[in-house]
Amino acid sequence: MNQLQSLKKITTVVADTGDIKFIQKYQPKDATTNPTLILQAINLPCYQNLIISAIKYAKLIGGNYQKKITNASEKISVLIGSEILKYIPGKISTEVDARLSFNKEACIEKANSIIKMYEEEGINRSKILIKLAATWECISAAKELKKDNINCNLTLLFSFAQARACAEAEVFLISPFVGRIYDWYQSKIPNSIYSVKTDPGVLSVQKIFNYYKENNYKTIIMGASFRRIEQILALAGCDYLTISPPLLKELENNIKNVKQVLNYKKKCYKNRKILSESEFRWDHNQDSMAVEKLSEGIRKFAQDQENLEKILSKKF
CB atoms within 10 A of CB 113: 15
Model confidence pLDDT, tens digit, residues 166-187: 999 999 999 999 999 999 999 9
Model confidence pLDDT, tens digit, residues 265-278: 776 666 678 999 99
pTM, to two decimals: 0.94
> Which candidate in 68, 131, 213, 293 is catalytic?
131
Assigned CATH topology for domain 3-313: TIM Barrel (3.20.20)
131 annotated active-site: yes
Model confidence pLDDT, tens digit, residues 44-57: 888 889 999 999 99
Give domain limits for the chain: 3-313
Burial group, residue 228, by CB count within 10 angstroms (0-12, 13-18, 19+): middle
Q: Rounded to an integer, what distance in angstroms lies between the CA atom of residue 261 and that of residue 253?
A: 21
